[in-house]
Amino acid sequence: MSVTAKLTPAEQTKRKKARKAFLAILRRLKKAYKVVKTADQWYGIVKQVQSLLPKYESVLSPVDAQRLKAALQLTDTSHEGISRAIGVLEFELEHVVSALPSGGLLGAVILGAAVAIAAGVGGTCVALNASAVEVLVKNNGCAPIPLCQGVVPVLDWISGAVGISLPQQPIGSDAQDSISLPALRLTIDATTRGKVGFKLLGILPIEMSIDVDSVQLDGQELLGQSTTLDLRNAEDHELVVTCN
């Protein structure tokens, strides 16, 4: 469905119902890492999603519908494979849920964020990309971290314009991946264990949405506080997220 097409009242209502239904499954899925151990349990979750697709697929974009269907496939029935599949499905559901509400206000907010970031450094988007720094994110025993592109509608385009590059897939347990950011002020809000968030120049928020036991940037423990760091101090940084 085109996001620019004018929706009828019936379509708007259907989109709201679809968001509510997929969000309910997403919330159950976030708790599944501790209880889903077998393929049969995994398929129980899959059936919930499959039951919604015939009813609400018409309000999803073709790409979102295809990606969601692909995320329902289980190719590895090991515990690690099931955990990885949960992470992928959670990522796709978050993308679907975030895309369902009207995108007008969200798009304006994100566009404003991009302009503010560019203005904050007094330069162009090209300059932002030229001064990027790399942050290596290590997942130490946590559920897959959905710190990846596609989580928020329009964010991929805006983040690319201002020099932010996120992983293509969630960062799996005991795995690592890199984030590229402009050399600006980065705020890491780790005051709530289950909702660690990142903000660049105080805007453009990205959340990990997992329960963690430790968050360290370049060896400095950040859990339990909100910390603002100047990324211009070094070209490379290391963020270690630990779950016991």
Tens of pLDDT along 124-152? 444 444 457 888 999 999 888 877 655 55
User: Which H/E stretch holds residue 118?
Assistant: helix 104-120
In this predicted model, which residue has the larger pLDDT, 112 or 75?
75
Where exactly are the structural domains of the chain? 9-99, 105-242
pLDDT, residue 201, reads: 56
**Which pLDDT value is given to residue 174?**
92
Which residues, other chains included, contact 40 with Cβ-Cβ below 8 Å and sequence gap of 6+? Answer: none
Mean pLDDT of the chain: 76
Has residue 244 got a pLDDT over 70? yes
Segment (H or E) for 240:
strand 236-242
Angle at 138 between CA 132 and CA 139, to 5 degrees: 135
What percent of the chain lies above the pLDDT cut of 70? 75
Tens-place pLDDT, residues 100-111 = 764 444 444 444
Residues 153-195: tens digit of each pLDDT: 445 545 555 567 778 788 888 999 988 877 777 888 888 887 7
Average pLDDT of the segment spanning 50-69: 90
Q: Is the dihedral of CA 100, 105, 111, 116 positive or negative?
A: negative
